[in-house]
Amino acid sequence: MGEQGAKPKSLTSRKLKTEGMKKLGFTILLILSSYFLSNAQDYNTGIGLRGGFANGITIKHFVTQKAAFEGIISSRWRGLELTGLYEVHGRAFQTERMKWYIGFGAHVGFWNGDYTEKYWGDPGKSYTVIGLDGILGLEYSFTEVPINIGIDWKPAFNVYGQSGFWADGGALSIRYIF
């Protein structure tokens, strides 16, 4: 006589087959998802360094296949500027993993006039500026390593605090992408 409460072999083998099918289905779903996601865009999020007249940190995150938000924290003249941008991307020069992008956004910046005197500010005065930004750029994502490199021109127009047009916002960005 068998042990009391033991399950018949047929129920145990059915349970093992069901678990095996679930694992197989999950594996197939994972492979298909990674294939389609990798073909949809080069990356979802990138974080890295931005260097130009203003240096800082850049974070870009795609919200659709062709649209992304980018946040930039930068410093110039010992001040701090926070920029938010909305960008539209498209394939450039019929080259895989190379994209052009264009966008717009806004910024807020904080400066001490003691360090901006040579360029635009008055000593002893603090500045808070708010303005509008545009961006036009080109970027390439490598396949061998999870790195993206981009070059852009980001003109800005301050509408509050110290108004004026700033056309020298170009930079080179290098991001880790995932």
End-to-end CA separation in angstroms for the chain: 59
Alpha-carbon span 84 to 46, nearest angstrom: 15
Whether the predicted pLDDT of 133 surpasses 50: yes
Whether the predicted pLDDT of 35 surpasses 50: no
Specify the pLDDT at position 38.
43
Q: pLDDT, tens digit, for every residue of 59-102?
A: 999 999 999 999 999 999 889 999 999 999 999 999 999 999 99
Dihedral-angle region of residue 8 (phi above 0 means left; psi in -120 to 50 means alpha; beta otherwise): beta
Specify the pLDDT at position 17.
62
Considering only residues 16 and 132, tell me which one the structure prediction assigns the higher pLDDT. Answer: 132
Please tell me the least confidently modeled range out of 18-32, 123-137, 162-176: 18-32
Alpha-carbon span 116 to 126, nearest angstrom: 10
- Six-digit token pair at 44? 């979802």
Report the chain's mean pLDDT, rounded to a whole number. 86
The percent of residues in the chain predicted with pLDDT above 90, rounded, is 65
Per-residue pLDDT, averaged over 127-156, amounts to 97
Alpha-carbon span 75 to 95, nearest angstrom: 33
